[in-house]
Amino acid sequence: MVDTSPLIGVLALQGGFALHVKILRDLGAEVREVRTPADLEGLDGLVMPGGESTTMTLGIEREGLAGPLGDLVRAGTPVLGTCAGLIMLDREHLGLLDVRAQRNAFGRQLHSFETDLEIDGDAVRAVFIRAPWIAEHGDGVEVLAEVDGHPVAVRQGAVMAVSFHPELAGETRLHERFLAAIRQGATGADAARTASPGRPGTA
């Protein structure tokens, strides 16, 4: 039987990583908090949570994580970035997502709000707190949702990034889809490895 408990890393240098850890574990994933390059080894997926992007940048530099994170993404490992995680992935930071995020685009803390967005056919509850939006994006970036004409959820290859905090609303559908895609990919890879390339077998 195929193991359906993927190992998911959650970047845990700063910010709201604990709720992501809880959601992923509740959904049946194994979770590892990522603080050093060694913590990235063997991961099936990675979540980059919200927080304070300047502090996260300093932590990534201090721990020497930028190169290993880039290697992980370029190898095709699925990534989910939320709020500051989106900022960290953009052109001006790690350069792993072909977007430019505009920080605090919706205003300061007092301008926080919640709304429902449709993403991949699901109604997703989104909490925006000092949230960015995507000011520019490349042709290879798929826009999944907008607020007032500004992209707030995008996908490029195996990377999905959103401007908001699903975890603060108890919203799990993005995490569910993230894990389902990882499990489906693992199942497909396992089937490809075990399929017979030769003559058909006998009944």
Does the model's pTM come out above 0.85?
yes
**157 pLDDT above the threshold of 80:** yes
Question: Can you tell me the distance from the alpha carbon of 201 to that of 48, in angstroms, rounded to the nearest whole number?
Answer: 46
Does residue 114 have an active-site annotation? no
Eight-class DSSP state of 52: -
Q: What's the whole-number average pLDDT of the chain?
A: 89
Question: Can you tell me the distance from the alpha carbon of 112 to that of 34, in angstroms, rounded to the nearest whole number?
Answer: 28
20, 83, 137, 171: which is the annotated catalytic residue?
83
Hunting for tokens 């920080």 — which residue is that? Answer: 103
Residue 107 pLDDT:
77
Does residue 83 have an active-site annotation? yes
93, 165, 171, 175: which is the annotated catalytic residue?
165
Lowest mean pLDDT among 49-53, 151-155, 186-190: 186-190
- What average pLDDT does range 115-122 have in this prediction? 94
**197 pLDDT above the threshold of 70:** no
Q: Summarize pLDDT for 50-107 with one digit per residue, the tens.
A: 999 999 999 999 999 999 999 999 999 999 999 999 999 999 999 999 999 999 898 7
At 196, is the pLDDT very low, low, confident or very high (cuts 50, 70, 90)? very low
**Alpha-carbon distance values, 20 to 16, 34, 115 (Å):** 8, 12, 20
- What average pLDDT does range 125-135 have in this prediction? 94
**108 pLDDT above the threshold of 80:** no
Does residue 175 have an active-site annotation? no
93, 137, 167, 171: which is the annotated catalytic residue?
167
Domains of the chain (ranges; CATH) run: 7-193 (3.40.50.880)
Q: Strand (E) positions, the chain?
A: 7-11, 30-34, 45-48, 79-82, 99-102, 113-119, 122-128, 133-137, 142-147, 150-156, 159-162
Judge contact between 79 and 49, C-beta under 8 A. no
